[in-house]
Chain A
Amino acid sequence: MTLWLTLAVNSIALGGLLFLLSAGFSLIFGLMRIPNLMHGSFFMLGAYFGVTLLDNRIGMNFWAAALVSALAMAVIGGLVERFLLRRLNGQELPQVLLTLGLSFIIADVCLMIWTGDPWQPPTPDHLRGVLQVAGVYFPYFRLVIVLVAVVIAVALWLMVDWTRLGAMIRAGVDDAPIARVVGIKVSQLFTLVFALGAALAAFGGVIGAPYLSVYPGLDAEMLPLALIVVILGGTGSLLGALVGSFLIGFLYNFGQAMFPDLAYVILFLPMLLVLVLRPQGLFGRVMT
């Protein structure tokens, strides 16, 4: 019984991290049609920034480290979009190749700087300990991850669906030339979305570090998960990303515990089913 609960808690914690990763991926792909294959790299590089800031030599506060890392990654993401991806507007294959190439470069640079050893910062003091409910123990930290993910999900949803800024972004997606003609600075907004996606991934990377640790290959492990989440949930749909993330969190943890040999089948099968039966994803709108 407790094993199942532990698995469930781990699942929703992973789901929270996956949401931070895939929300940006989904917005970037859904709104700007950029298949950003360096999204896993944003997660990993952000995590490396974070563990460096958390290291004894600097000893930054956990949340401050996550924010600083997110900010740094926003700048890097913004630069990549503005100076590289912008030149490949609407050309998907070159965009795939560029982002894939950059992800290899980042992986190598990370290996050089942070070596091949895993880094695992301790769980911050104030988030240690467990919550005991009806004889079952829930580690605080994992609950906090979920809470943060849900808060960010609501904030993103409010921004995209209920603010003027969000409406301007959607207008730019609907009809970019006319959006510019009515005065919307579409190009700046798209850079902003890309930077925001990068920042969210980095934030997730730092928050996840005490739990997942940071090591070479983390990028390549996270990217397919983001892909599955977004295909399951539907591109551009934040609700889809949220539901997809928790779904994959559960499939991943339970799959590995119960059918370790089939873990990948269990992960990818639902994606295949969705692609065949409902290509727009569970919550996606049909693209025209």
Chain B
Amino acid sequence: MTLNRRKFIGSTAAVAAVLSAPMVKAGGHGKPRVVVVGGGAGGATAARYIAKDSKGEIDVTLIEPTRMYYTCFFSNLYLGGFKEISDIGHTYGGLAAGGVNVVHDWAVGVDRDAKTVALAGGGSVPYDKLILSPGIDFVDGAVEGWDLSAQNAMPHAYKAGSQSELLKAQLKAMPQGGTFAMVAPPNPYRCPPGPYERVSMVAHFLKQNNPTAKIIVADPKEKFSKMALFQEGWNNHYAGMVDWVGSDFGGGEVSVDPGAMTLTIDGEVTNVDVCNVIPAMKAGRIAELAGVTDGNWAPVNAADMSTKADADIYVLGDASQQGDMPKSGFSANSQAKVCANAVRGALTGSKVFPAKFSNTCWSLIAPNDGVKVGATYEATQEKIAKVDGFISATGETSDVRKATYEESEGWYTGITTDMMG
């Protein structure tokens, strides 16, 4: 039997000795302090793991403005009627009970010399290591005619919660035979299959409640994640309902008028009843304020997710620019654990093990028709690099698809427990 394509690790102790960072004591104060900004897939996981594994040796503060975290993952299933909004909301009580100091506030600035994070509510929090996992914000002017003041008329629903509820309400209120439009984002953006899973879930809802309605998708891309699987699914389940306009057909030449409720694709004006605008994305603004971004994202070192700009600031999840991993909750969670291990090692001298990353994204196309795509990754000098991967095949049996969907439900419980305790 062959052990592994890659090198067999002779002794973990030897590896740890090579990799563990020199011990950095807390600078002149008692316990070392870690501040985490953003309690989502990346930040909650990092805070929880550092608190859990350091067993009280490190002070962990999490700064997160919302008291209830609504996962974007499964928010499409909420639109489709497979989940209630309450199923995708999670509180921070578990983290607090696990020893994390949870501060409900916005971080509004980072003083890298003083090593403090300023809060919107006043005051500041000192850190030895700062972990930013703020998710995404939208690029100004990305879609002509749309800005944040238009997000009620034309919701993005790409941060879950009230936006998801709004989009669902609009979907329900659509007139019979009406038009649901989506403006899809350019790469890179959070959750590559997300817009297309959403199209599937909207189609499912309309098929039940509004079968003569139409869906039009204006897309600045030529192809998208799991494209063959989604298109097969749309044909099988929602024949004739979905009109996907890719960049070849002007899908990138788009403007909207939220007052008139029109969408213009390549000069052609369409009246729409619901318009889901998902603009181009960038790192959550605090990353930029901390001065760790380069362009729209924050470049990081693959081995520990520390930023290229500042060795004491780490960026996780969607906001980071790390290489080959898609921007997903699974990825953010995976990166958080590598980072937690490294941060703990740097602050307390605990063993640091080699970085290993993985991701799997499940998508639901129709009831019991689930598909998945996944890959494993490793840290190289240059980036997080893909090692191996798989994707569901077209034409799979309904048993396989059902099992895939059930697996995604298991994953959802697993990851939310892993994040929130």
Is chain B found bound to chain A in the same assembly?
A: no
- Spell out B's residues near A (CB within 8 Å): none
- Spell out A's residues near B (CB within 8 Å): none
